[in-house]
Copies of this chain bind each other. A is one copy, B any other.
Amino acid sequence: MSPTDYPPELSKQEEVYLLSNLKDWSIAHGLAVRPAPSFVQPSQDPSGVLASTAPVTLFPSLFPRSCFDEGLSIQNAYNELYSAIARDESWLKSIVEELVHVDDFVAKLWQTHLEVKKEGYVQDLSLGLFRSDYMVHQDPSQSNSSPGLKQVEFNTIASSFGGLSSQVSALHKYLLTIDAYPNSTSSIIKHEALRQSQSASSLAKGLAAAHKAYGASRTKRPLCVLFVVQDPERNVFDQRHLEYALLEESGVRAFRLPFGETLSHTQLDTDRTLVYTPPNSPSKSYEVTTIYFRAGYSPDDYSKDEDWHARVQLEKSRAIKCPSVLTQLAGCKKVQQVLATPHSPHLKRFLPDEKVASRVLKTFAPIYPLDNSEAGEEAKKLATDASSATKYVLKPQREGGGNNIYRKAIPPFLQKLPETHWPAYILMEMIEPPPLTNAILRNGELQRGGVICELGVYGVCLWRNGNGDNQKGEILENWEAGYLLRTKGDQSEEGGVAAGFGAVDSLCLVDE
């Protein structure tokens, strides 16, 4: 079988065998989500005991080995880069100042930082559980060129699917072991071509490292990690796998706190320690070492004023934030854009080693601002012209995805938007992934067709900000933490599985 025929069509019996084994294995190993309301109405299962196989691909998707290796090996540099950005308040300020008038959410985050700064930060350590997302780019006009890795975005908050990713790579390995993949694929799907993602365990080790670095309790309370979450959360098992790994491998307790209930169950104590009182046992409270945000990344999470007070309280606290508000701001698209704008001077500010910087630079797709700079004026021409716009995607500066404008939809979109609001967006050259096929099981429905794959590489970084007068910032821990492959039908142009369009996947390496 040649890669262009991959994956094979399955006979009815092959499909029955593969699917029945996939469905049982996934539930037996927690590769699951709570069912969508469109699949199971909440009234049918008010207590929430039902779960469904998470959206998954039937086959591991083909991925160039050189691109995968490069993605993993460059992650430490990315960790270094973003921790350096998060430590550079004055630089971040210059970026944010260009956004505050057009992006209310960025403005609010910056205000949160200023409010904390006024009182002084009491915690000098920061944790990042990052995920750098890439697509394989192969210039369609040069079919002989070797494929390269191009960054889609860099996530500094709530990088998801680290829990499920470990499970889906184990699933595909299992399906290979039990011969669920037809014989014809044996030259392609081999054990040595599959990669087990250690993301669940490795990210949990990051939380454990922060927990340990926090030191002893100042209030003589037991210590804990706090997962600040959305409620309800369909993707809860993804988060739970991290929590279980943290408990089993490092003996660290964690609690889940819905973001909207923060002020009811936490308070600041001596030396701004953060105290969490579990609602189930009001007499026993915990000192929080580390706040792991799986909420708070989107304006939707701040529906009432109280939610901003909650964020300020958490930021003010002595707990290590994963991430801090400055680290969250470092993840905004504007940062990615100024780094990736051709001839940008910024990258070397943060990555002084030229060799490292040039490797990182190679993973950038050209990104332009939509402002009055020289690059901005060029971008406006590209974006408003119906023919050139087809090579681009327009992205809002803020985190979270789900609002991108693609190709020919860009000119009419901009036409309706006052030009003063254009700087809230960046223009990015479309990455052109090589054509791939796969089959996705989602809500019990099987769909087969052209797909687009996005590689996420996780990174753990723990650093000292050095906000004190004589203290320099320094990185204490820095490691690559496994990978995620997310795959979506190529008719959809959105990325997130949680947003309802894709599936978790694992990779099958091919040599170009």
- Chain A residues in the interface with B (C-beta under 8 A): 11, 13-14, 16-20, 23-25, 27-30, 32, 35, 39-40, 44-53, 177-180, 182-183, 236-237, 240-241, 244, 247, 253, 256, 278-281, 283-284, 441, 443-446
Contact = CB atoms under 8 A, between A and B. Distances in A.
Contact of A279 (B13, B48, B441): B13
A279 B18 CA distance: 11
Give the number of copies in the complex: 2
A265 to B, nearest CB: 11
A240 B48 contact: no
Q: Secondary structure of the A side of the interface?
A: mixed
By Cβ-Cβ distance, the 4 closest A-B pairs, closest first, are A17-B280, A28-B30, A47-B444, A27-B51
A32 B27 contact: yes
Contact of A23 (B16, B48, B443): B48
14 contacts: A13-B279, A17-B278, A25-B240, A27-B27, A28-B240, A30-B30, A40-B44, A40-B50, A49-B443, A49-B444, A50-B52, A178-B253, A179-B280, A182-B281
A20 B229 CA distance: 14
B30 A51 contact: no
A449 to B, nearest CB: 18
Given A247-B177, A253-B178, A280 B49 contact: no
Given A24-B240, A183-B281, 11 more contacts: A11-B280, A13-B279, A14-B280, A18-B280, A27-B27, A27-B32, A27-B237, A49-B443, A178-B247, A179-B280, A182-B281
Contacts of A50: 35, 40, 50-52, 444
Given A30-B30, A51-B51, A17 B279 contact: yes
A177 B25 CA distance: 27
A378 to B, nearest CB: 49
A29 B30 contact: yes
Nearest to A222: B179
A65 B351 CA distance: 64
Contacts of A46: 444
Q: With a 10 A CB-CB cut-off, give which of A28, A32, A177, A179 has the most chain B CB atoms.
A: A28
A163 to B, nearest CB: 9
B49 A23 contact: yes
B14 A281 contact: yes
A49 B18 CA distance: 13
Contacts of A51: 27, 32, 50-52
Nearest to A44: B40
A179 B280 CA distance: 9
A47 to B, nearest CB: 4
Contact of A236 (B24, B32, B237, B284): B24
A32 B25 CA distance: 12
A499 to B, nearest CB: 20
A278 B32 CA distance: 28
A52 B52 contact: no
Contacts of A25: 240, 244
A483 to B, nearest CB: 21
A126 B179 CA distance: 29
B47 A244 contact: no
Contacts of A32: 27-28, 51
Given A17-B278, A280-B11, A28 B237 contact: yes
Contacts of A39: 45
A85 B24 CA distance: 37
A468 B247 CA distance: 55
A280 B19 contact: no
A256 B237 CA distance: 28
A61 B23 CA distance: 32
Given A32-B28, A240-B28, A241-B28, A13 B47 contact: no
A149 B16 CA distance: 46
A19 B13 CA distance: 40
Contacts of A11: 280
A280 B22 CA distance: 14
Nearest to A280: B17
Contacts of A28: 30, 32, 237, 240-241, 244
Contacts of A29: 30
A227 B182 CA distance: 22
Given A24-B237, A49-B443, A179 B284 contact: yes
A504 to B, nearest CB: 14
Contacts of A279: 13, 16-17
A451 to B, nearest CB: 20
A85 B30 CA distance: 42
Most chain-B CB neighbours within 10 Å: which of A18, A20, A24?
A24
Nearest to A279: B13
Contacts of A280: 11, 13-14, 16-18, 179-180
